[in-house]
Amino acid sequence: RIVLPFVNSVTVHPLMLLLLYDSKTMASDIRLGYLLTEIALIAYDWIFNFLFRIYPITPYAGFYCGGPGCRLIENRSIFSCFLSSIITANIPCFLFLVMRTHKKTSFGLKSTLNITNK
């Protein structure tokens, strides 16, 4: 459970950041969307694989937290708020990327699905 996220953190994520850095023909807003999404995924990997290790308790609707972050935050409402904000943090980054990509690919179309800045 620890080895694969560590390998992912030192190989896949730096490779994606390098590809984003080297791609000069990509539009700046699309590159920004990919960069924000990649940063959110890196944070998601590190938080859920190293700081909070969540294990489901299968027959029940509960979970066990075994990471060092679980012992630091003892208040359950703060813990739940932190986990929910981390889970949903990558959604706006990905939606920004999807909307910008849709705008670039639907440029010049006479469709009602064309998204404008108005």
Asked if residue 50 lies in contact with residue 79, where contact means CB atoms within 8 angstroms, the answer is no
Q: Which residue has the tokens 């960069």?
A: 35
Q: What is the pLDDT of residue 91?
A: 92
Q: What is the pLDDT of residue 50?
A: 86
Q: What is the pLDDT of residue 112?
A: 61
Q: What is the pLDDT of residue 28?
A: 87
DSSP sequence for 54-86? EEEETTTTEEEE-SHHHHH---HHHHHHHHHHH
Structure tokens at 76: 């359950």
pLDDT per residue, tens digit, the chain (118 aa), is: 678 888 888 899 999 999 988 888 888 888 999 999 999 888 888 888 888 888 888 888 788 888 888 888 888 888 889 888 988 988 999 999 998 888 888 777 666 665 665 5
In angstroms, the CA 44 to CA 59 distance is 26
Asked if residue 115 lies in contact with residue 103, where contact means CB atoms within 8 angstroms, the answer is yes
Domain segments of the chain as ranges: 3-105
Q: What is the pLDDT of residue 118?
A: 56
pTM of the full predicted structure?
0.76
Q: What is the pLDDT of residue 94?
A: 92
